[in-house]
Amino acid sequence: MKTSKHTFFCNNLNDLNLPPDESHHAVGVLRLKSGNHINVTDGKGNFALVKIIEPSKKNLTFEIVEKFQQAKPTTNIHIAIAPTKSNDRIEFFLEKATEIGITEITPILSANSERKKINTERWEKILIAASKQSNNHHFPILNELTKLHDFIKENNSENTQYYIAHCEADKPRTELKDEQITQKNNCILIGPEGDFNLEEINLAITNKFKPVSLGKTRLRTETAGIVACHILNLIS
C-alpha cells in the first residue's frame, strides 16, 4: 500500500479538493507542490493516495491515485467525561484517547464540574489531528455537552455495556481490567476533579451503569479517561 507521510482531511474524497484550512496547511505551511503525493481521508474509513494538481492555499485540487478502506473498529469505546478546569489537561485526554482508539466522546456536566463550556471546534480539530497522526481513518464522534442526568436517562441501549468509574472506595466496585467484554459497545462515565457525588453515582447504578475502579492509584480526571480508554481497548 503506497502512502505519503502527510495526511489531510476532506469530507468527501470525490470532491477532489481540500477545504481551506487543510489547503493552507498543505501549501502555505508544508510548501507542497503540484505533482506531490499526499493522503486524503474522509474520517469515515475511506482514504486515498492522491496527486496534487493545483496547489492552491485556499482550494487545493487533486486527482486520486489509489483508494483504500479501513475496517471499522470491532468494538466501540464511548467515554463520557467531565471536562477539566484546565483546557490543556482535557485536550491531552482527547489526543491520547484518539491515538489509543476511542470511538465516541461526550463531554458531561456533573454537580462538581469545574468547566461548564467547551470549545467544540477546537476539540474537533484535536480529534482530527490526532486521528491523522495515528493513521486512524475513522475519526471519533464528538457529541454535545450533556447534563449527566440526561446522559444517564438517554443511554440505555441493550447492545451497550455501561460503566461508571468513581472514587468512593467504600462502595462496591469491580476492577474494569477484570471485566469480560461481551458487548460490541462499551460506554464509561468519568467524573470531574471533585468526583461524582453520591446521588449521581446512585442514579447511574440504578440505570444499569456498572460501578468500576480503574486501578489502585488515585488518578486525575484526564488520566482516568486515558486509562479507561486503554483498558477497554486492551480487553475488548
By the criterion CB under 8 A, which residues form the site for a copy of itself?
A: 88, 92, 95-96, 99-101, 133-136, 177, 215-220, 223, 226-227, 230-231, 233-234
Q: Considering beta carbons, is residue 154 or 178 the nearer one to a copy of itself? A: 178
Closest to a copy of itself by CB, 95 vs 200, is 95
CA dist 27 and 14 (Å) reads 20
Beta carbon nearer to a copy of itself, 23 or 136: 136
The least CB distance from residue 230 to a copy of itself, in Å, is 6
In the complex with a copy of itself, the residue whose CB is nearer, 96 or 155, is 96
C-alpha cell at 7: 495526511
Per DSSP bridges, beta strands 104-109 and 76-81 are parallel
Q: Which is nearer to a copy of itself, 82 or 226 (CB)?
A: 226
State which amino acid sits at residue 188. I
DSSP codes, the chain: ----S-EEE-S-GGG-B--HHHHIIIIIIS---TT-EEEEE-SBSEEEEEEEEE--SS--EEEEEEEEE-PPPSSEEEEEEPPPSSHHHHHHHHHHHHHHT--EEEEEE-TT-S-----HHHHHHHHHHHHHHTT--BPPEEPPPEEHHHHHHH---TTEEEEEE---TTS--EEGGG----SSEEEEEE--TT---HHHHHHHHHTTEEEEE--SS---HHHHHHHHHHHHHHH-
Burial group, residue 170, by CB count within 10 angstroms (0-12, 13-18, 19+): exposed
Q: Which is nearer to a copy of itself, 116 or 216 (CB)?
A: 216
CB closer to a copy of itself out of 100 and 187? 100
